[in-house]
Structure 1
Amino acid sequence: MSVPNPRPGPPGDALPPASAAPLWAPARIERVETFAVALPAVRSFGISGGPVTVAGTPAIRVLVKVTAADGAQGWGEATPLPRWTDETAESIVTTIDRYLAPAVLGLPAWHLDAADRAFYRAVSRGFTIGAPLARSAVDMALNDLLGRAAGVPLGVLWGRRRCETAELGWIVSGRAPAEVADSVAEGLALGYRAFKVKIGLYGEEGDEAVVAAVREHAPPAAPIWVDANQAYTAQSALRMARRLDGIGISAFEQPLPANDIVGLRRLREHSPVPVALDESLRHPSDLATFVRLDAVDVAIAKVQRSGGLTLSRRLCSLAQECGVRLMGSGLTDSDLGLAASLHLFAAYGIDTPVDLNGRQFIESPYAVETVRVEGGKAYVPDTPGLGVVVNETVVRRLSVDVLERRV
């Protein structure tokens, strides 16, 4: 859907004079368009909350195109995963079309801070950030637009690029121990040398058996970490951490509900395995709270969860200033989200294996030029913006009406 420009900008915003913009800067934001696209799912994938992709069933992603008055364009992505968060394809489309887009139309396309403030006025943050996936798609598109207008990759635009590649983790999810050997072998054959295991699916003994099977069939030195996606209680998480300690796990990701701050603090004090926070860290201020309470070992950098690249950069900077270790993750993104994550991780030198699993589970037929992934390693794009060239004709062909009324 397309939102035209009805007014010069959000009420109360003093728009900066044209002289404040860099010489290469694009004009003001003229149009924001959303496309819910059905992408091919090549493998099934599940977490403790339920299935994320089902092989043979299209996976819905919401792509966003932002156009400036001078014709400059950028693309972004939102990944609706109701099993993981409270945003659906329908809510993302309506939030962008009816709230976020009208709030930023007329703003200078280079003014990311003004866009960030406009998002807050359009959708209040409440306890933490509001509608992070929706706002992430628009913010990602704005960053892409700026990089394209400047003719440089995002790392150059930001003045931060500490590495050129990222090692990817192969995801083992929803499998009984007897099936683990085949999954690990498939990853090894494709060049993967690190493994992330989704747990919280089979009870404590079953989860332990799956992780132990991954360790048995993976190379001895292969990094392995687990992700419970909020599946445990404080008591069961501590028991599980003790079970995992003997297997050799590098991190125990989001074992408790995101808002169980007290439980996570207690678990961090007693767990023999480092506790990593993902769903708990939507906004940089969430990380600040966990740091003050000495309740975090590892912070997961995740572009969409944190509302886009602008806020994710703030969160990563805060983590590094506070001495909190960073790991990287995604949301089974298609190639736009994959590229955005790679630029973020490269900017902050996140050199441990990362969970960017989109290529493992879905295809991105809209991408003409895109991210190179070989031998379990992803290469940070070095072309302007995100580095993904989108075929809009294919995007429109793949588009579906997610707001169509169902009887």
Structure 2
Amino acid sequence: MGLHDLKIDRVETFAVALPTRRSFGVAGGAVAVAGRPSLRILVRVSADGVSGWGEATPIPAWTYETAESIVTTIDRYLSPAIIGRHAWDVDGATAVFERAINRGFSIGAPLAKSAVDMALHDLLGRAAGVPVGILWGARRTERIELAWVVSGQSPAEVGDSVAEGRGLGYGAYKVKIGLHDEDADAAVVEAVREHAGTEAPLWVDANQGYTVHGALHMARRLEGLGITAFEQPLPANDVIGLRRLRDDCPIPVALDESLRHPSDLATFIRLEAIDIAIAKVQRSGGLTLSRRLCALAEDSGVQLMGSGLTDSDVGLAASLHLFAAYGIDTPVDLNGRQFVESPYAISTVRVEGGTAYVPESPGLGVEVDEAVVRSLAVDVVSNGVP
């Protein structure tokens, strides 16, 4: 049976409770809490005996989708919309998803859509016997440099975190700000620079935590520290504020949450309101729309950076294929391995000394143990989140 004959016959969702390695927070609240399981939604799409896996990362502190909403959106809306469709038609699936769950200001339910789109890519790569990047005909690099996300609420804790990252071979660092007042945030960033050294790439991420005035004030305080990017300083929909900020900010502004859909990037490009675009698979509804966003950025002369959503290994692999396809050569924030474990993965992404190697196996390149997935599964819809 050829690729053109494969028709989708089943979509399954599994909410899995993964072990958490470290605590992690953003301006909106907690992302991971040590000692508590981290929920991820794994999705398996099957077509005539071939299966592929995708992942969604519910982080209500970052965006509106919850574990419950992702599961019910896939089970009750996205799955019925694609059963019986050709598995190769990922572009058509994207259009069908838009009709099943329509867009708001930008895109509707991107995390849920991403998980299914990711699984379709994995399925097609497995059916063809090639990695996803080879399926696309696009792989410009074999390895991606990772950044260490600095955790800690004080200069002393930050020093320990930087030392841990350096000990594991990481040479680039990302710092979350907007968690405290300006003085405390500035002290944390200054401590990172002191411990990381003057040559280490370092950028800050506010996760929408500032006003225009506050962001400019903070940027001017950090100007002498060699910060490579100020990521998402303002609320995602503050288009006018971000345009003003780009004119006056002494640090290049990178947009993440503002770029849900490729059309969002088109708006910021037209307004000359963006320096750097963050590529993030789940935020943009999957690999299909992420490729469109990356191509638009590249063709428009906008710098690309890469990021993830504290993904476990399935999501990590998907991001690596995307970033390799566009040759992203700056360190990326794919921090899942830092904060969560992926016991369901039999063979998976190789990470050594702060470098991730793009998988060579068919599909996404992660072999999933279904028995382990089922043993980790929890019923979030009936019983609530553990």
* TM-score (norm: length of structure 2): 0.98
Structure 1 unaligned blocks of 5 or more = 1-21
1:77 aligns with 2:55: yes
1:134 aligns with 2:126: no
Which position in structure 2 is the counterpart of 1:143? Answer: 121
1:196 aligns with 2:174: yes
Question: Is this contact kept in 1: 2:3–2:124, CA < 8 A?
Answer: no
1:390 aligns with 2:359: no
Q: CA deviation at 1:24?
A: 3.7
Which position in structure 2 is the counterpart of 1:48? Answer: 27
Question: Is this contact kept in 1: 2:133–2:321, CA < 8 A?
Answer: yes
Which position in structure 2 is the counterpart of 1:286? Answer: 264
Q: CA deviation at 1:67?
A: 0.3
Which position in structure 1 is the counterpart of 2:156? Answer: 178
**Secondary structure of 1:77 counterpart:** strand
1:27 aligns with 2:1: no
Which position in structure 2 is the counterpart of 1:308? Answer: 286
Q: Which of 204, 210, 214 lines up with 1:232 in the alignment?
A: 210
Question: Is this contact kept in 1: 2:151–2:157, CA < 8 A?
Answer: no
Which position in structure 2 is the counterpart of 1:254? Answer: 232
Q: CA deviation at 1:25?
A: 3.9
Q: CA deviation at 1:295?
A: 0.3
Q: CA deviation at 1:174?
A: 4.2
Partner Cα distance (1:39, 1:349) in 2:
31
Partner Cα distance (1:26, 1:43) in 2:
45
1:348 aligns with 2:329: no
**Secondary structure of 2:30 counterpart:** strand
Question: Is this contact kept in 2: 1:193–1:219, CA < 8 A?
Answer: no
Change (3 A) 1:186 1:406: closer
**Secondary structure of 1:114 counterpart:** helix
Q: CA deviation at 1:406?
A: 5.8
Partner Cα distance (2:91, 2:171) in 1:
39
Which position in structure 1 is the counterpart of 2:37? Answer: 58
Partner Cα distance (1:187, 1:406) in 2:
35
Question: Is this contact kept in 2: 1:254–1:275, CA < 8 A?
Answer: yes
**Secondary structure of 1:369 counterpart:** coil
Structure 2 unaligned blocks of 5 or more = none
Cα deviation digits, residues 138-182 of structure 1 (max 9, x gap): 000000000000000011000000001111100013421121111
Q: CA deviation at 1:204?
A: 1.1
Which position in structure 2 is the counterpart of 1:38? Answer: 17
Identical counterparts, % of pairs: 72
Total equivalences in the alignment: 385
Q: CA deviation at 1:220?
A: 2.3
Cα deviation digits, residues 289-345 of structure 1 (max 9, x gap): 000000000000000000000000000000000000000000000000000000000
Change (3 A) 1:72 1:274: same
Q: Which amino acid aligns with 2:351?
A: V
Partner Cα distance (1:138, 1:127) in 2:
22
* TM-score (norm: length of structure 1): 0.93
Q: Which amino acid aligns with 2:91?
A: D
Question: Is this contact kept in 2: 1:369–1:389, CA < 8 A?
Answer: yes
Which position in structure 1 is the counterpart of 2:199? Answer: 221
| Greater displacement, 79-88 / 239-248 | 239-248
Q: CA deviation at 1:81?
A: 0.1
**Secondary structure of 1:246 counterpart:** helix
Cα deviation digits, residues 99-150 of structure 1 (max 9, x gap): 0000011100000111011101100012111000000000000000000000
Which position in structure 2 is the counterpart of 1:336? Answer: 314
Which position in structure 2 is the counterpart of 1:374? Answer: 352
**Secondary structure of 1:396 counterpart:** helix
Partner Cα distance (1:216, 1:155) in 2:
39
1:118 aligns with 2:96: yes
